Amino acid sequence: MLDELRNAVQEANALYFVTLLRADDAGARRPDDTTEPSIVAPATYAAIPGVPNSGGPRVNRVRTHDRAEARTVLSSTGAEAHRHKLALRDALAEDPALPFPRVHVEGAVDLKGKGRRPWALDILDLPHGGSDTYLRWTSEWSEFDPFVMGFGQLDLRDDATRIYQRCIHMLLVGGWASYYRAAARIPRTLSSSIEGITILPNDTADDPLVTYKTQRSDPLIKGTIGLPEGMKPKKKDKDKLSAEGLGDIPGKHPTSKVLIDYAVAKTTISFAGLRQIRFAENGGRSHERDLAGRTVAAALGLLMHELVQRHGYYLRSGCSLVPILGKTSRVLVGADGRESALPWDQDARPRLTIARELYVAAVQAAEGTGLQFDPARTLHADRNLNDAVSHSTRFERVDEDEGVA
């Protein structure tokens, strides 16, 4: 199976996964029942100053296969990247033998009169691939920094070995270091999102001039019309996260939800993108080493996708989605655009088991070319990071001259 994956990384365009989902109605329907629409809470976005009704859900009207659809973003690409990282983090905690460069950040917040409260984060917990503040504000950063190449420039087309050794997941979900500007921005080669699909009535679909939009009045935006008096937000609630359904807090206003026929989760692992990445050897090029590193990244992406399937689709908006039985597509897109089944899908074993074996085999093959993960390490937060954590958790920090209990 590893040979098939290596060949695909060299020649194909991408792996493409599509899963149809519906809202979890607590067992009210069978997994294959798609006759009833679902009420879901979409992702919400901050309003743009001066642009009326610019906040709330994103709804687009498109035409596909002679029918019109309204597509609502339920989970953005960034949120899905984080879901993939958390699914991998949980798998690493369950399976210590799974090869991966394990990096933790530790610190402690000083509490007035209450001693010190320790905290710890895994690199997979961090936003933007964990490449910015939470790692930079550590005492070991100058030695750990995976972005230092040449004169502070990062070009994956020259050498991505340090990224591979210390945080290979960034080669998939992306990462960045703000102090290096665009020179240290790592593009995604794994992209994923979830959209809610509403099939529009025929009369709406036939008339290209009809504008359709899901009801999405945002009660937090001044001037919202068509909102019943009882649903208008109270002044004290206008800044609460729960009012918009942000974070992990479900929205409190019924208008923050939309009606969909089903949802679509799409994930793409771009082999064309991975082929832009190189892993230098003693300052020179090695085709075998490049291919081995790219294959490990592709296998890790496949493993992360299968882990997300097991992890489930509980959205930050508070909505839980479940797969519709038998409505999953997994294809290999060739260089000519032709689609074919994944070679290893002929194996009757669980897909997660196959993905894990592929990943472990790819890592072992890469070790033969000199590509190895760094040993597990712990980075220690400096004062700046402890201060940031203190503010984010509403802890009160004690000044150094006041002493620590």
Q: In 3-44, where do the E strands start and end?
A: 14-23, 38-40
Domain-located, residue 398: no
- Tell whether the model's pLDDT for residue 270 goes beyond 80: yes
What CA–CA distance (Å, rounded) separates 60 from 42?
13
What CA–CA distance (Å, rounded) separates 96 from 94?
6
Domain-located, residue 401: no
Domain-located, residue 404: no
- Tell whether the model's pLDDT for residue 398 goes beyond 90: no
Please report the pLDDT score of residue 169 as a whole number.
Answer: 93
How does pLDDT run across 206-244, given as a tens digit for each residue? 433 333 333 333 333 444 333 334 444 455 544 444 444
Q: Are 198 and 214 in contact (CB under 8 A)?
A: yes
How does pLDDT run across 329-346, given as a tens digit for each residue? 899 999 888 889 888 888
Q: Please give the angle made by the CA atoms of 277, 279 and 284, to the nearest 5 degrees.
A: 120
What CA–CA distance (Å, rounded) separates 319 from 43?
10
What CA–CA distance (Å, rounded) separates 26 from 224?
33
Place of tokens 């993108």: 273
Domain-located, residue 315: yes
How does pLDDT run across 34-54, given as a tens digit for each residue? 556 677 767 766 666 676 666
Mean pLDDT on 352-374? 95
Domain that holds residue 373: 2-392
Please report the pLDDT score of residue 97 as a whole number.
Answer: 93
How many domains is the chain built from? 1
Domain-located, residue 402: no
Domain-located, residue 403: no
Domain-located, residue 397: no
Domain-located, residue 26: yes
Biggest alpha carbon–alpha carbon distance for the chain: 73
